[in-house]
Amino acid sequence: MIAPSLALGQRALRLTFRRPQFLIPLFLMPSIFLAVNTGGLASTTRLPGFPETSGFLDFQLPAAMVQSLMLSGLQAGIAVALEIESGFFDRLITAPVARLSIVAGRLIAAAVLAVVQVAFFLVVGLVFGAQVAAGVGGAVLVLVLGSLAAVAFAAIGMAIAFRARQASVVQGMFPFVFAILYLSSAFFPRELLGSPADSISAWNPLSYMADGLRTPIAFGLEWTPILEGFAVTGAVIVVASLLAVAGLRWRLSDAV
């Protein structure tokens, strides 16, 4: 099962890198928002209740990362939906490949791409004056957690694609990516969010993923939020993968 998964993962990655029109937005859009948020709202660190941090850019970096990873998950879904539309997918499932490999391949590709994405934003941050409070070890933690988060988002994207089957429907989820972001602590401390986002964000897994990524960068090795980040990400991966596999089964049972 491992060899076909890796082969499918490699194919997915290769296709991603060959379509710059899909790759560029993953880096460009979060970068624009990162620049605008830090350039426009850095003074908010003066607000009472804003945690002590090395800088607003440090605080915002994880927001750019999760944004980029969520968009990549959505694109994984769009890619799968396009394969369903074009009939490639039918060819794949008639091949003697384990069903799980089809899902696993995409997830592996997402994890590898995520290392590039997270590293990109770390480098951008360092160039423009951010620091990783927890040092090199902290940066490694961020890369690992970022990859796992990407797997979770890709699994969600695929689960949607298996249900929706149409790329345009998956594409239509785009505003929801932002709705989920705004209802989490990705951009701002949870205690300072407006109502009802403050209470909703406590239940939003994205809050814990973002805080897990943020802690080593902006605050240091505080283990509670970091471990919470890993635990929640792991839980999302399990649930979303089950949904994706179930979606695949459902799609297969529906096939003529």
Partner 1 sequence: MPSDLVSAPVQRSEEPGRQRLIDWAAVRALVVRGLNELLRVPGAAIPGIVSPAIFLIGLVLVFGKATDIPGYGTSSFLAFVLPVALLQSAGFTGGATGVNLGRDIEGGWLDRLLLSPTSRATILVGLVLSASLRVLIPVPPLLLIAIAVGAPVPSALGVVITFVIVVMFTAVAATWASILALIFKSQQASPLMQSSILSSLLFSASYAPLELLQPWMRTIAEHNPVTLVVEGIRQCYVGDITWAVTWHALAALLVMGAIFSLWALVRLRRYER
Inter-residue contact 74 to 177 (CB < 8 Å): yes
When asked if residue 28 is in the footprint of partner 1 (CB under 8 A), the reply is yes
Using CA atoms, how far apart are residues 25 and 29, in angstroms rounded to an integer? 5
Q: Which amino acid is at 157?
A: G
**Of the candidate residues 179, 202, 242, 246, the single one contacting partner 1 (CB under 8 A):** 179
Closest CB 56 distance from partner 1, rounded Å: 9
| Least spacing, CB of residue 47 vs partner 1, in Å | 6
Applying CB under 8 A, among 6, 10, 27, 29 the residue interacting with partner 1 is 29
The yes or no reply on residue 193 touching partner 1 (CB under 8 A) is yes
Q: Which of 23, 27, 44, 228 binds partner 1 (CB under 8 A)?
A: 44
Q: Which is closer to partner 1, CB of 40 or CB of 96?
A: 40
The amino acid occupying position 36 is V
Query: Which one of the spans 27-35, 135-143, 154-162, 234-242 is the region binding partner 1 (CB under 8 A)?
Result: 27-35
CA–centroid distance for 105 within its chain: 17
Binding flag, residue 202, partner 1 (CB under 8 A) = no
Cα–Cα distance for residue pair 145/13, rounded to 1 Å: 20
* Residue 20 makes contact with partner 1 by CB under 8 A: no
Which of 35/239 has CB closer to partner 1? 35
Rounded to whole angstroms, how far apart are CA atoms 23 and 121?
14
Question: Does residue 187 interact with partner 1 by CB under 8 A?
Answer: yes
For residue 233, give every residue at least 6 positions away whose Cβ sits within 8 Å of its Cβ, in sequence order, or none: 145, 148, 149, 152, 205, 208, 209, 212
Roughly what angle, to the nearest 10 degrees, separates helices 205-214 and 56-86? 130
Which residues bind to partner 1, rule: CB under 8 A? 21, 24-25, 28-29, 32-33, 35-44, 46-48, 175, 178-179, 181-183, 187-188, 192-194, 197
